[in-house]
Amino acid sequence: MSSTDAFALFAQARKQCPNPFKLETVVADKEVWGEVLTNLPSLNQHIDAKIYDAIYEVQQKYSNKIGISIKGDRGTGKSHVIHRIWKHIEQKGECVFAYIGPFSNPKRINSHVRFYLASSFSNQDINGVTQWQKLAAAAISTLKDT
């Protein structure tokens, strides 16, 4: 087998790692929080940059409370972008992040949002601290200052 035989190289690569073509190409809601095997940082990187720029601009000019809505067709990389935003926020450690998944019944939006907030805040950052704990610490800190 020559080292330039493409089929042999492909077969060898398949033995070393899972076949990327067998992986799901769409990231599920729950995968926003974990590690995404199919994450390609270059996918929609221009969107990431615009989001971070907008967050920074809003924080500097208006408020430190920001909400972002991301909309697009299925399979266009929305969840990958959301995952990277979460990882960015997680590394900074100074924010909380809530992912509110899509919903179909506008009459139940309040319970839908509450469910996803509770679920989101139960996720841990890289230090093992939940967002509930961060919120509690911030509330205690605020009360100490009064």
**40-57: average pLDDT:** 82
- Residue 135 · residue 143 · CB < 8 Å: no
pLDDT, one tens digit per residue, over 69-128 is 888 887 777 888 888 888 887 887 677 788 888 888 889 999 999 999 999 999 888 888
Per-residue confidence (pLDDT) for residue 140, from 0 to 100? 93
In angstroms, the CA 27 to CA 99 distance is 14
| Whether pLDDT at 46 is above 70 | yes
Higher pLDDT, 77 or 133: 133
The tens digit of pLDDT for each residue in 49-68 reads 888 888 888 888 887 777 88
pLDDT band at 37 (very low <50, low <70, confident <90, very high): low
More confident residue, 106 or 16: 106
Give CA 28 to chain center in angstroms.
11
| Sign of the CA dihedral running 55, 138, 133, 112 | negative
DSSP-derived secondary structure for 51-117: HHHHHHHHHHHT-S---------TTSSHHHHHHHHHHHHHHH-S---------S-GGGHHHHHHHHH
Enter the pTM of the model. Answer: 0.65
The answer to whether residues 80 and 27 touch, using CB atoms and an 8 Å cutoff, is: yes
